[in-house]
């Protein structure tokens, strides 16, 4: 049998296969490729056989032509089952993002189709799955972290999780930082950095009830347990209240306040600066401070 007759026989058989899966041959501008009505309904076994014919022709077709577009789009639709298969491996991580995972995986499939070469003598599925999985993993790496951390720390988190699981089984307890560092052959400082960064993978609401709450009592939110008053807030409020009161002092009084509480000068030094006695400075300071305190009490 000649090569040409073998090709013709193969095409005839594939056309029959396409008919069994809801596809048909039509008189359209598809060159010598079989026309497939709904490529998404082609069974995986038939898709593998049809893909070889389409890849063979795709390499010869000029990019941008209708025939090239038809061959490429049909390959994408026929092999979407590979994307669904790869996405199923991440079903426990995707939450409600299943549709996003499928779309991201499809990008990997398209990249694999554009880079596949029949001369490599490997099955397209074997070639495509790593591209699809790679795109999905990149999607999780770039979008699932609640707090963005450098890529090396994201990858270190995965290594730490595997090391923890292995060492916990061997030691029958949680491994220490030193043991993790020895296992991964990394400095302890880098292990600590990775453990801290891992906390940014997911974030919980401050309104979530505390796990330490007793089931028989009213549960308190994490915000109530972890939150505390910022000691600096009172200082800020006092300064805002004090500012207009200082503006009410005369220039000499403001200067005394600045020297005593700003420059932290002693009363003797202030007296020497103003040409008055230390006792006089003391009386002036007492009067000014009393005036400011009274003003702040009224404001409060």
Residues 77 and 134 in one domain: yes
Give the list of residues 6+ apart from residue 37 with CB closer than 8 angstroms, or none. 22, 23, 24, 26
Q: What is the pLDDT of residue 277?
A: 92
State the chain's mean pLDDT as an integer: 77
Residues 134 and 158 in one domain: no
Give the list of residues 6+ apart from residue 79 with CB closer than 8 angstroms, or none. 47, 51, 109, 113, 124, 125, 128
Residues 248 and 166 in one domain: no
Give the list of residues 6+ apart from residue 163 with CB closer than 8 angstroms, or none. 175, 180, 183, 184
Q: In 44-147, which ranges are continuous DSSP H helix?
A: 44-58, 66-78, 80-88, 98-115, 124-143
Asked if residue 32 lies in contact with residue 57, where contact means CB atoms within 8 angstroms, the answer is: yes
Residues 157 and 76 in one domain: no
33/69 Cα distance (integer angstroms): 12
Residues 220 and 246 in one domain: no
Between 201 and 262, the higher pLDDT residue: 262
Asked if residue 174 lies in contact with residue 165, where contact means CB atoms within 8 angstroms, the answer is: no
Residues 158 and 48 in one domain: no
Tell me how far CA of residue 85 lies from CA of 35, 102, 115, in angstroms. 26, 10, 20
Q: Show which of 226, 257, 279 is a domain's final residue.
A: 226
190/241 Cα distance (integer angstroms): 47
Q: pLDDT band at 286, cuts 50/70/90?
A: very high
> Which residue segment(s) compose the domain that 264 sits in?
231-299
Q: Show which of 127, 143, 159 is a domain's final residue.
A: 143
| Residue-wise pLDDT tens digits, 116-169 | 887 877 888 889 999 999 888 888 776 655 556 677 777 787 888 889 889 988
Q: What is the pLDDT of residue 15?
A: 44
Residues 156 and 122 in one domain: no
User: Coil, helix or strand for 198?
Assistant: helix
pLDDT at 25 over 60: no
Residues 158 and 265 in one domain: no
pTM over 0.75: no
Residue 8: which CATH number? Answer: 1.10.1740.10
Output the CA angle 192-198-200, nearest 5 degrees. Answer: 125
CB atoms within 10 A of CB 64: 7
Query: How many folded domains does the chain comprise?
Result: 3
Q: Show which of 170, 191, 226 is a domain's final residue.
A: 226
287/161 Cα distance (integer angstroms): 66
Residues 113 and 188 in one domain: no
116/39 Cα distance (integer angstroms): 19
Residues 160 and 215 in one domain: yes
Residues 134 and 164 in one domain: no
Between 115 and 16, the higher pLDDT residue: 115
Residue 43 tokens read as 């069974």
| Residue-wise pLDDT tens digits, 210-240 | 555 444 455 666 666 666 677 777 788 878 8
pLDDT at 5 over 60: no
| Residue-wise pLDDT tens digits, 41-56 | 778 778 888 888 888 8
Asked if residue 295 lies in contact with residue 245, where contact means CB atoms within 8 angstroms, the answer is: yes
Residues 134 and 10 in one domain: yes
Residue 156: which CATH number? Answer: 1.10.10.10
């Amino acid at each position: 049998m000649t090569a040409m007759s073998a090709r013709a026989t193969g095409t005839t058989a594939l056309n029959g296969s396409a008919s069994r899966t809801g596809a048909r041959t039509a008189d359209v501008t598809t060159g010598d490729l079989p026309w497939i009505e709904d490529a998404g309904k082609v069974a995986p076994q038939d898709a593998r056989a049809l893909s070889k014919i389409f890849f063979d022709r795709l390499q010869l077709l000029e990019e941008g032509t209708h025939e090239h577009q038809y061959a490429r789009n049909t390959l994408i639709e026929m092999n979407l089952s590979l994307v669904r298969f790869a996405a199923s491996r991440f079903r426990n991580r995707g939450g409600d993002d299943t549709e996003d995972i499928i779309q991201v995986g499809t990008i990997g499939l398209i990249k694999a189709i554009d880079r596949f070469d029949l001369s490599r003598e490997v099955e397209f599925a074997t070639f495509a799955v790593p591209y699809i999985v790679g795109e999905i993993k990149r999607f999780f790496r770039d979008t699932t972290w609640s707090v963005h951390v450098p890529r090396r720390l994201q990858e270190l988190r995965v290594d730490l999780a595997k090391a923890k699981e292995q060492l916990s089984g061997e030691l029958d307890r949680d491994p220490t930082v030193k043991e993790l560092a020895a296992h991964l052959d990394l400095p302890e400082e880098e292990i600590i950095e990775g453990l801290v960064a891992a906390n940014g993978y997911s974030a919980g609401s401050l309104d979530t009830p505390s796990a330490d709450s007793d089931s028989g009592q009213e549960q308190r939110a994490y915000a109530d347990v972890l939150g505390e008053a910022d000691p600096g807030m009172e200082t800020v409020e006092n300064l805002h209240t004090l500012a207009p009161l200082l503006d009410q002092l005369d220039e000499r009084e403001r200067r005394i306040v600045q020297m005593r509480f700003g420059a932290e000068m002693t009363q003797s030094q202030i007296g020497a600066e103003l040409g008055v006695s230390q006792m006089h400075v003391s009386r002036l300071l007492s009067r000014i401070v009393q005036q400011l305190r009274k003003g702040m009490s009224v404001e409060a």
